A = this chain, B = another copy of it.
Amino acid sequence: MKSAILCVGSELVLGEIVNTNSAWLAIHLAEIGLETIRHETVGDDEPRLIDSLLHSVSDADVVIITGGIGPTPDDITRQALAKAAGVPLVRDSGALAHIEHLFAGWGRKMSPSNAIQADFPEGSTIIPNPRGTAAGFRMPLGRSEVFVLPGVPSEMKAMWEESVRNILLGKGNGGAVVTGTVNCFGRGEADITDQIKDLMAPGRNPSVGDTAEDAVIKVRIRATADTRDAAMKMIEATKADVKRRLGDCVFGEDDDTLHSMVLRMLIERKATVATAESCTGGLIAKLFTDISGSSAAFIQGVVAYHNEAKVRLLGVPRELIEKHGAVSEQVARAMAEGARAAASTDYAISVTGIAGPTGGTPEKPVGLVYIAAASARGVESREIRLRGTREQIRDRAAKQALNLLRMVLISS
C-alpha cells in the first residue's frame, strides 16, 4: 500500500510557514506499513488543489490531505473534494450540533460562517475532531481512500491517533517500516562509515545509512517486516551490532541527545553538576534544564560573559586572565574548578572561546574554544578549533564540553 500526502494552504506554499505535517504523517504512515511516495503542497486555489488531488489518487492507495477545512472563504478543501468526486456537499446535523455545542461551551454564539464546517461531500464519513470545530472526513476517490484532516498540527495529530491510524490498521495491509538511529559524537563521518561499510550495502534489510546533524553522526537503520514488532526486533539487532563496532563514540539512540545522556549518567550515579560558560552563554545550562527532573543533578550555572564575572562568580585569578587571556586553557580549567568549588558539586564543566563572527585575532581566531571538566580526580581540558556560524560554534562547543564530561564519567 502506497500513500501520498497533500497539504493545502497559501501560507505553506508561499513559505511563510514550514510544513511539518508531511514529515510527521510520513513517519506515522510508515509505522503501520504505508510507504509514502510523495508530498505535495498547494495554496488555497481550487483548480490547483483538484489537479494535485488527481495526481495523488493516480498512484496512491491512501491520500492524506491536511488543511483548508476551516470556516473562512479561503478554506476550499471540502468543496474541491466534492467537485473532484462529482457529488454535492451535504450538511450533517450531528456535526452542526457539535459545533454549536462547542461555541456554547466557550460562551460564544456560533457565527453563521462556521456552519460550513458541518458540510461534507456526499458519501463521506466524518472523522471527529476532539480539539476543534473542524471535523475531518474520508471518502473514496478513484481507486484511493482520501482522508481530510485539519492543518493545525495538534488537531491533525490527535485525529490521526484517535481515528485515522486505527482505520488504516484495520485495512490489514501487511508490512511495517520502522526507523531507528544510533547516535555518535567525536569521530569523523568517514571514520564511522568505514567501520560499518558492509552493513550499508544496498538492498540490505535493515538498510543502514548515516546523516550528520549538527556534528552528531546518526547511523540510520530502516527495517521492513511483516509487523511492527518484527521490524523493531531487526532494528534492535542491527543497533547492537553498530554499537559494538563503534564503541565509545556512541552516546545514545533515536531521540537521545548528548545532554540527555550526560544528565542520565549523572542521575544514575547520584552525582551533581555545575556549569561555567562564557561563549556558550547559558546554552549548556539551558540544555540540561530543558529536561524535566534535571534538578536531581544540575545545581547551578554561571554565565561569566565579562572577565570580571569570571573573577567574581568563579574565583578565576585575575592574574591568570591577564597572563593567558580569557580564552585560554588555563582559564577554562580555572572556571571548571571554580564552578565545582562554588557549587560544591561532584562535577563541573566550562567553556571559554570566541564564537564570532567578530572578536577574533590572528593568535586567537574565531572558533578557538577551550573546554574543561572538573571532578574529584582533577581537571580534563581540551583546545578545539571550530568552524561555522556563531550558532554552530556555540552548539559544537557545548557538545564538546558535554562529551568531555561524558568521557570523564565513562572512565570513572
Q: Which residue of B lies closest to A289 (CB)?
A: B281
In the assembled complex, which residues on chain B have CB atoms less than 8 Å from the CB atom of A312? Answer: 300, 342-343
Contact with B along A39-64 (1 / 0, CB 8 A): 11111010010011001000100000
**Which listed segment binds B: A19-27, A134-142, A158-166?**
A19-27
In the assembled complex, which residues on chain B have CB atoms less than 8 Å from the CB atom of A282? Answer: 275, 277, 282-286, 289, 301, 303
A273-331 contacts to B, CB under 8 A, are: 275, 277, 279-286, 288-290, 292-295, 298-306, 308-309, 312-313
Any B CB within 8 A of the CB of A356:
yes
Among the listed B22, B284, B358, which residue makes an inter-chain contact with A15, where contact means beta carbons less than 8 Å apart? Answer: B22
In the assembled complex, which residues on chain B have CB atoms less than 8 Å from the CB atom of A303? Answer: 275, 282, 285, 289, 300-303
Contact with B along A43-87 (1 / 0, CB 8 A): 101001001100100010000000000000110000000000000
In the assembled complex, which residues on chain B have CB atoms less than 8 Å from the CB atom of A73? Answer: 202
Q: Is the CB of A22 within 8 A of B19?
A: yes
Q: How many copies does the complex hold?
A: 2
Cα–Cα, bound, A134→B281 (Å):
36
**Which listed segment binds B: A30-38, A231-239, A368-376?**
A30-38
A340-361 contacts to B, CB under 8 A, are: 342-343, 355-358
With A41-B22, A282-B285 in contact, is A302–B305 under 8 Å at CB?
no
With A14-B26, A22-B19, A26-B15 in contact, is A295–B306 under 8 Å at CB?
yes
How many residues of chain A get a CB closer than 8 Å to chain B's CBs?
A: 78
Q: Is the CB of B23 within 8 A of A19?
A: yes
Cα–Cα, bound, A24→B12 (Å):
11
Instruction: Point out residues on A near B: beta carbons under 8 Å.
Output: 11-20, 22-27, 30, 36-43, 45, 48, 51-52, 55, 59, 73-74, 177, 179, 202, 211, 220, 222, 275, 277, 279-286, 288-290, 292-295, 298-306, 308-309, 312-313, 342-343, 355-358, 390-391, 394
Nearest 5 A-B pairs (CB), nearest first?
A281-B289, A15-B26, A282-B285, A282-B282, A301-B303
